[in-house]
Each structure stands twice: as structure tokens, then as C-alpha cells.
Chain A
Amino acid sequence: VIDPLPSPTPQRLPAGRGRHSLSREQVLRSQRERMLEAMIDAVAERGYNRTSIVEVAARAGVGRQAFYDQFGDKESCFIAAHDWLLERLANYVTPAYEQEGPWPERIGHGLAALLTAIAYRPQGARLALIEVLAAGPRAHQRHLDAIEAFTRFLDQGRDETAVGPMLPPALAAIVAGGVAARIHQEVAAGHTSQLPRLHPELLYHVLLPYLGHQTARQEMQKAQRQQPTR
């Protein structure tokens, strides 16, 4: 399986006090990414409230001072981890959507990429969908912004239908919020790895308000036929 969310593999730097050939900047970046990964794993295991800076630093193999130098506090590190995950998610989903083809097909590709990427990393899914709600108002706002970011794909559906100009302005937010909640429900139930199974149902939900029941249903049935049989 190819990692849909590639990141530079966080390697520990050579142990000991001896010299190594990495620049200061490289060292800091490697430390930062290890701390972000450590935050993701720690929060998935223990929850945001019970995760401590000491634990994140220990998991990352850095000293506590290194943590404070880069993040200042736990909330900032958490938000940086959230943004990092979402950036990688967007880098995976956007090209899938931007392939050539009719809009319903592109939505289908984007949705499939979204589900595959979230399913690939259950710890990241826990952070970005569940723990983010317990990490204070700044994190909550980031979560809403992350969902909102997907509305630009949906709003293009307005150009696909005669009633497009009549559709209410907040429609895409309602659709995206519904999809996010459905994914949240599966992640909370511990079914993250099976998310790709939701593809046909979610595709219907996204297409319905733009293209109507008949077209949405045809696309759903097409997606059902393409589902890998277990």
C-alpha cells in the first residue's frame, strides 16, 4: 500500500554528542515533525486532555526545551499537528478532484481519495475529527475551517445545473458538514479503516442537491458496482 499522506519519515538523529552532517535547520525540521507525529499518536491513545508535553517530547526523542522552543504550549503543537494533517490531506484530495472529466466523476474521485486517506491513518483521523473538539475554541475553529475548505469543490456543482443560480448560498456548507459528521460517526465507532465503503452513499449525498435524485442515484449505483468486493 502506498502511503497517501507521505511525510518525510521522522528518523531519530544519530545518538550521542558527536558531530553529524545535518544543518541546524534540518535538525529543527526533523525535531518538529517528530513532535507532530508524537502528538498525533499520543492524542489518539490518551486523548487531548491527558496528553502531556513531557510525553510528546519523550515519544519524539527530544528534550522538553526543544518542545517549548518550537511550539510554546500544548495547544499550539496540537493545532500545528492538525494543520499538518489537513495540508497533507488537501495535497492528496485536490489532484484527484482536478483530473479531467465531468464534475460528478471528479467529485467521485475526490471523495474516494478523501476516504482512502483518512482510513489510512486512524490516529490522524482521531486527532482531526474527534480530539480537535476537545482542544479548545481555537482548535474547534480550525476544524470548522477545514470542513469549509471542501465547499469550493461542491460549489462548482452550481455550474452543472439549470437551477444553479437559485441554490441557497450555504448549501455547500450543509452538504460538507453532513459528510464530515458521517465520517466522524465511523471514526468514533472505531471503523476508520472501513471508510471507503461509504463512497457510494456519500457520493449520492453530495450530488443530490445539485443534480437531483435521478442523476445522483445513477452515480451512486455506478460507484456501488466499482466497490471492491470483500
Chain B
Amino acid sequence: MSIPENDGTLVPTAVRGRLPAGRHKLPREFVARSQRDRLLDAMVQACAAEGYGDATVAAVIARAGVSRKTFYEHFRDRDDCFLVAYDTFLARFLERVIAAYQRPELEWPARVRAAIGALLAFLAREPAFAWMGIVEVLAADERAVERYRSAVNELAGLLDEGRGRLPNADAVPAETATMVIEGAAFLIRREILAGHTEELETLRPDITYAALVPYLGQDEALRQAQTGTGMSQT
């Protein structure tokens, strides 16, 4: 599906509200997309509010304000709706993080820092997505977990570009980057469950150090972690 360009929320604010009841002159295609987007948004919100297990078709259509029949015109079942919502969220999330990383004018460590900053900022601004994408996804079906893993692998692939900077690159185990990303995900999950989603950006030095230490060594990773935190090392 195509992802509408917007300010980082899943559903553009313009279509979040219900359309006026009764007859209206909007083209049918617009109505359908709006219903679909409202359903996706409702799925994300329902997961955040009630958990994946209780985010049923009934809960989702009640939030979206559409009929059950309409739901089934757009999605095969609850899991299908969850997957489409998850894919939509994840695509935008990765797009942000990768855009922050792909800045050829910057040195590699600064690009990693920027990517970590973008990742945390996105999740902090979108608490419902953070909940669905990092916490609830692990309770969802295998296809969703598969998506989560491939996102982890994609980020790990970017991080492991740091391998090119090592004098003897083969000395670092192949799984190192994946474990760093998964470790950061664990920390983020812990903070989300503790109700600290909005403060996620405070984790930036911790994650930066863990991400860079395999490639840059302790001293340089520490220096990078402290950059921009006002805690410069002398």
C-alpha cells in the first residue's frame, strides 16, 4: 500500500475525524481510504489501550466508527488489519531512521548518533505506535514477529557498516550488531512498560555507547555518547 506523506502520524490529521454522516460529495475512493486509514489508526490505538489480545474487530470498529461489514471489505480478519497497520507504521519508522543515517556529509559516528536520535524521537512522539511496534508485536502472530525481526536486521545491517572501520573486522562476531539493536529494543520496551515513553530520548547516550563500542573502542564510543549531552569528557 502507498503511505500518505504526513507529519509522522499514521493517519493524516485531516482524515482522523469522522466524515460527516449522511450523504456527502466526497469521491468514493476517498471515503474508502479514509475508512481504511481510520481502521488502521483504530487498531494501533486499541492495541495501545487494550493490548493485542483484546484489540478485537469489535473494539477496532467501535473506535473507528465504521461497520463490521466495512471492516471486512478492507481486511480479511483482525490479524490482517494488525499486520497492515504494523507494516505502515514500520515503513514510516524505518524511513525516518534511515533518512537520519544517510547523511553523506557527516562522519559515520555522527550518522549513527543521528539515527539513534531519530529512532527515539519517533517513538517518544508516537506512544501508541511505540507500544504496538515494540511491546505488543511480540504477542502477535508469527508474521508480525517476522516483520519485527526483519526491521531489527535492517537496522543491524546499517550499524554493521561500522565493520569497515575495524583493523581486523573478522574478529567481531557476526551477531554483534543484531544483539546491540535487540538490547536497545529491550531497554526501550522496559521504559515503555514503565510509562516513560515520552522520556525515551534520555536513553540516547546509553544506546550510542553500546552501538559504537564494538567498532570504535571504549574511549571514542564514550566521547560520541557524551556529544550533545553537555557532559563532555576532558
Interface residues of A (CB under 8 A from B): 133-134, 136-137, 140-141, 144, 147-148, 161, 163, 166-171, 173-182, 201, 204-205, 208-209, 212-213, 217, 220
* Interface pair B217/A201, CB less than 8 Å apart: no
* Interface pair B193/A140, CB less than 8 Å apart: yes
Q: Report 19 cross-chain contacts, Cβ distance below 8 Å, ordered by A residue.
A: A133-B139, A137-B51, A140-B138, A140-B139, A166-B222, A168-B210, A170-B203, A173-B183, A173-B190, A174-B183, A174-B186, A175-B210, A178-B186, A181-B183, A182-B178, A182-B179, A209-B210, A209-B213, A212-B217
Which listed residue, B185, B206, B222, touches A163 by the CB 8 Å rule? B222
Tell me whether A174 and B206 are in contact in the complex, defined as CB-CB below 8 angstroms, given that A179-B179, A205-B173 are known contacts.
yes
Interface size classification for chain B: 35 or more
Tell me whether A136 and B187 are in contact in the complex, defined as CB-CB below 8 angstroms, given that A209-B213, A213-B171 are known contacts.
no
Mask of B202-220 contacts with A, CB within 8 angstroms, 1/0: 0101110110011001110
* Interface pair A178/B222, CB less than 8 Å apart: no
Question: Which residues of chain A are within 8 angstroms of B206 by Cβ–Cβ distance?
Answer: 168-171, 174
Which residue among A137, A217, A220 has the maximum number of chain B CB atoms within 10 Å of its CB?
A137
Which listed residue, B51, B53, B207, touches A174 by the CB 8 Å rule? B207
B-side interface mostly: helix
**Residue B60 lies at the interface, judged by CB distance under 8 Å to chain A:** no
Question: Which residues of chain B are within 8 angstroms of A209 by Cβ–Cβ distance?
Answer: 209-210, 213, 218
Q: Bound state CA distance, A140 and B137, in angstroms? A: 12
Q: Bound state CA distance, A211 and B148, in angstroms? A: 31
Which residue among B135, B185, B193, B218 has the maximum number of chain A CB atoms within 10 Å of its CB?
B218
* Interface pair B184/A174, CB less than 8 Å apart: yes
B222–chain A nearest beta-carbon distance, Å? 5
* Interface pair B209/A201, CB less than 8 Å apart: no
Mask of B150-193 contacts with A, CB within 8 angstroms, 1/0: 00000000000000000000011101101110111111011001
**Residue B11 lies at the interface, judged by CB distance under 8 Å to chain A:** no
* Interface pair A212/B218, CB less than 8 Å apart: yes
Q: Bound state CA distance, A147 and B187, in angstroms? A: 10
B38–chain A nearest beta-carbon distance, Å? 26
| Residues of B88-133 contacting chain A, CB below 8 A | none
* Interface pair B213/A208, CB less than 8 Å apart: yes
**Residue B225 lies at the interface, judged by CB distance under 8 Å to chain A:** yes
* Interface pair A177/B185, CB less than 8 Å apart: yes
B102–chain A nearest beta-carbon distance, Å? 24
Q: Bound state CA distance, A217 and B233, in angstroms? A: 27
* Interface pair A205/B171, CB less than 8 Å apart: no
Q: Bound state CA distance, A178 and B189, in angstroms? A: 13
Tell me whether A181 and B186 are in contact in the complex, defined as CB-CB below 8 angstroms, given that A171-B206, A213-B171, A213-B217 are known contacts.
yes
Q: Bound state CA distance, A137 and B184, in angstroms? A: 20
* Interface pair A174/B180, CB less than 8 Å apart: yes
Question: Which residues of chain B are within 8 angstroms of A166 by Cβ–Cβ distance?
Answer: 222, 233
Q: Bound state CA distance, A147 and B179, in angstroms? A: 14
Question: Which residues of chain A are within 8 angstroms of B171 by Cβ–Cβ distance?
Answer: 213, 217
A120–chain B nearest beta-carbon distance, Å? 23
